[in-house]
Structure 1
Amino acid sequence: MDRNEHEHVIEVTDLRRVYGGGFEAVRGITFHVKHGEIFALLGTNGAGKTSTVELLEGLAVPASGRVRVLGHDPHTERAAVRPRTGVMLQEGGFPSELTVAETIRMWAGCVSGAREPREALALVGLERRADVRVKQLSGGERRRLDLALALLGDPDVLFLDEPTTGLDAEGRRDTWDLVRALRDAGTTVLLTTHHLEEAEGLADRLAILHEGRIAAAGTPAEVTAAQPSRISFELPQGHFLGDLPPLAELGVCGHETDGRVVRLRTRELQRTATELLLWARRSGLELRGLDVRSASLKEAFLGIAREASARTASAPKETEYAA
């Protein structure tokens, strides 16, 4: 496939992964990643993110389902896939006594069409640390070295597993800028992350995994739009929640109070905010501390996790039987 072709670079259909003892880590997920797209996999610990990525990288065989990367099975057709992919694992294992430059030269010897080592180090801001031994690097610098190695082959597809773990705020922003630049140049990026701000700022689309299943998927805006927006304010002295117009008429789907502070949840933010402010004007009231905002990805993530857990808890238990 030419890297300028617009098609699904990664295709996952009804994918399952089962570990010894019968534990099902990935339970029939389906998604695709387009050419030149940043796609994020989110989920709590144990949701199945790393188990899924390892199948995409060809490091394991699925129990069932189908995986295609660049049109090939990444496990059985590894020779066709591996030279065109870059992989950044959660943790790299580098010989501690080698310098940064020695490490990247060693790795370049195993990569087809490798970039110049100095170029790869410059991409991640490590060119001035080339002569430092790996054991003397900080945790954040080791993550940068991990990324440099993943970029050595100028990959068409880049897998990033928790790419900014251990980085400070500046390092995280630099990495985000680099990933965006790679995307803009045509590289397809699949990343896992625990940083919801990272996913919200970087991803063109994302999927939220919960207990091995996809609980929500779409653009960050689509995923957050499915969750209620919030309006909070302080009731003036002498007024109470019951003084407001009926909450249902305001489009409110839930509320709570904390002393004089009222928090409303709504799926019709513009309507609710407008009606609330019109009521305050008619009543001659000032709503102090007024805060109106759409749901964040963090709120959507937590809400989806709670809903998925509730569904799991209420679902009938499967009958256990001997194989």
Structure 2
Amino acid sequence: MAPGSTPTATAPVLRATDIHKSYGKHPVLRGAELTVGPGQLVAVVGENGAGKSTLLKILAGTLAADRGEVTLSGTLGHCPQQPVLNEALTVEQHLRYFAAAHRLPDADRGRELVRLLGYERYGRSAAGELSGGTRQKLNLTLALLHDPDVLLLDEPYQGFDWETYLRFWDLVDDLRARGKAVVIITHLVFEQDRFDLLADLSDGRLTPRTASREGHHVGA
């Protein structure tokens, strides 16, 4: 930085502004807003039926909002609550096919994630033979395969045992240390002090609850 210059605020990597969505005559989102910066960890918390998955799909670009705007800077990884897997393909085949879809030179990052999440022994198993927790591990691996700048997770630890839960947070800490933003959609938050922001989704709007990490700030 040049002498006398003023530091500038870090630009957000994900911003949702005035998001509205209705299904028929039933409004689900009524002006939801969210801003996420690099390296920040955000939880969107709400009861079942509050519109959490609808918001996630709009943020991921898989569902159009009725009104409002989502802007993304960088690449996106999306891990839906229900794994989108081919039941007949093995774990290794999923890694290779998704690597090819992302135009990656190899599936080495995927294999590294498989080791980090502790399910190497299932490499030759078909997805249809995996337990719910292992399917969720594969779902997360595929979302992270291309090392996205923003990761959107819908109820990510569903079906995880305690060891996998701890490995998941080790992985999140590594992502944040490398400037990746992580948004977790959930109905229940454990260990609230892990997050920079908890935003409650109620009546179609997001309300920030707390920013618990010193030196980080996210607006909603």
Question: Which TM-score tier does this pair reach, normalised by the shorter chain?
Answer: 0.7 to 0.9
CA distance in 2, matches of 1:182, 1:30: 24
User: SS at 1:177's partner residue?
Assistant: helix
User: SS at 2:146's partner residue?
Assistant: coil
Alignment size in residue pairs? 204
Partner of 2:154: 161
Match of 2:197 among 205, 208, 218: 205
Q: Give unmatched runs, 5+ long, in structure 2.
A: 1-8, 214-220
Are 1:45 and 2:37 counterparts? no
CA distance in 2, matches of 1:66, 1:106: 32
CA distance in 2, matches of 1:124, 1:150: 13
1 or 2 for the larger relative contact order (CA 8 Å, sep ≥6)?
2
Q: Are the counterparts in 2 of residues 16 and 29 from structure 1 also a CA contact under 8 Å? A: yes
CA distance in 2, matches of 1:201, 1:124: 23
User: SS at 1:95's partner residue?
Assistant: coil
| 1:12 Cα deviation after fit | 1.6
| 1:61 Cα deviation after fit | 1.7
Match of 2:72 among 69, 72, 81: 69
CA distance in 2, matches of 1:31, 1:202: 18
Paired residue type of 1:208: D
CA distance in 2, matches of 1:201, 1:111: 34
Are 1:35 and 2:28 counterparts? no
Which structure 2 residues correspond to residues 168-179 of structure 1 after superposition, within 5 A? 168-179=161-172
* Sequence identity percentage: 36
Match of 1:97 among 88, 110, 118: 88
| 1:30 Cα deviation after fit | 1.8
Are 1:186 and 2:189 counterparts? no
Larger radius of gyration between Structure 1 and Structure 2 = 1
Partner of 1:218: 210
CA distance in 1, matches of 2:183, 2:199: 11
User: SS at 2:101's partner residue?
Assistant: coil
Q: Are the counterparts in 1 of residues 116 and 167 from structure 2 also a CA contact under 8 Å? A: no
TM-score where L is the length of structure 2: 0.85
Q: Are the counterparts in 1 of residues 12 and 36 from structure 2 also a CA contact under 8 Å? A: yes
User: Which segments of structure 1 move beyond 6 Å, counting only runs of 4 or more?
Assistant: none
Paired residue type of 2:18: D
Partner of 1:55: 58
Are 1:9 and 2:1 counterparts? no
User: SS at 1:101's partner residue?
Assistant: helix
| RMSD of aligned Cα (Å) | 2.0
Q: Are the counterparts in 2 of residues 124 and 145 from structure 1 also a CA contact under 8 Å? A: no
Partner of 2:144: 151
Q: Are the counterparts in 1 of residues 153 and 183 from structure 2 also a CA contact under 8 Å? A: yes
User: SS at 1:196's partner residue?
Assistant: coil
| 1:136 Cα deviation after fit | 2.1
User: SS at 1:209's partner residue?
Assistant: strand
Q: Are the counterparts in 1 of residues 19 and 69 from structure 2 also a CA contact under 8 Å? A: yes
Paired residue type of 1:17: K
TM-score where L is the length of structure 1: 0.59
Which structure 2 residues correspond to residues 168-317 of structure 1 after superposition, within 5 A? 168-198=161-191, 200-220=192-212
Q: Are the counterparts in 1 of residues 84 and 139 from structure 2 also a CA contact under 8 Å? A: no
CA distance in 1, matches of 2:99, 2:194: 28
Larger helix percent: 1
CA distance in 1, matches of 2:127, 2:69: 39
CA distance in 1, matches of 2:34, 2:19: 9
CA distance in 1, matches of 2:64, 2:81: 20
What whole-Å deviation, never above 9, does each CA across 1:17-44 have from its counterpart, x for those lacking one?
A: 122x221111112221111101110000
Paired residue type of 1:139: G
CA distance in 2, matches of 1:115, 1:156: 18
Paired residue type of 2:115: A
